[in-house]
Amino acid sequence: MEKHDGRGGAARPDDPWYEASASGWGATTGAEPGAVPPQALAEGGGDDRAAEIYRQVRAGAAFQEVRGSYRRFVVPACALFLTWYLAYVVAATTAPALMARPVFGPVNVALLAGLGQFASTFALTWAYVRHARLRRDRLALELRWETQQLTQGARG
């Protein structure tokens, strides 16, 4: 079955996960059977065969690769960003003379470091989105489709 965009436009494959958020927040009640989130199945809220499929997928190499890729980026990036943030806070409290040193005109080291916090936040966000798009999104989407096909087959 295909869904149309409501404007007479192109059809897309019927994906029961399409409208579901990745985190499970905002899930609607009375959703179609294919839209049952894995958390509900693992808690005994669904078909035992489907729950077993989700357990197998979670233990599989493809899922581990997606999670590993996520961790290999997020852990060092968070550590680096937290270190940079704490260095700014510590310098501001322990070395006020350094932070007050003028760089040019009314701009001092503290102002540049504060603006650097904003710049590094945007840079980290850009790097995360780029990493996800290039290294994880395709694998996660393939895993999602494979899981959907397996669960639909298990339901009959």
pLDDT per position as a tens digit, 57-79: 888 888 899 899 999 999 999 99
Query: Pairing relation of β-strands 102-104 and 107-108?
Result: antiparallel
pLDDT at 5: 52
| Beta carbons within 10 angstroms of residue 114's beta carbon | 14
Q: What's the predicted TM-score (pTM) here?
A: 0.61
Residue the block writes with tokens 């007479």: 8
| pLDDT exceeds cutoff 80 at 29 | no
What does the pLDDT read at residue 147?
85
Angle among Cα 15, 129, 6 to the nearest 5 degrees reads 30
How confident is the model over 80-93, as a mean pLDDT?
95
Q: Which two tokens stand for residue 14?
A: 């019927």
Q: How far is CA 122 from CA 7, 71, 84, 126, in A?
A: 36, 20, 14, 6
Answer yes or no: are the C-beta atoms of 55 and 43 closer than 8 Å. Answer: no
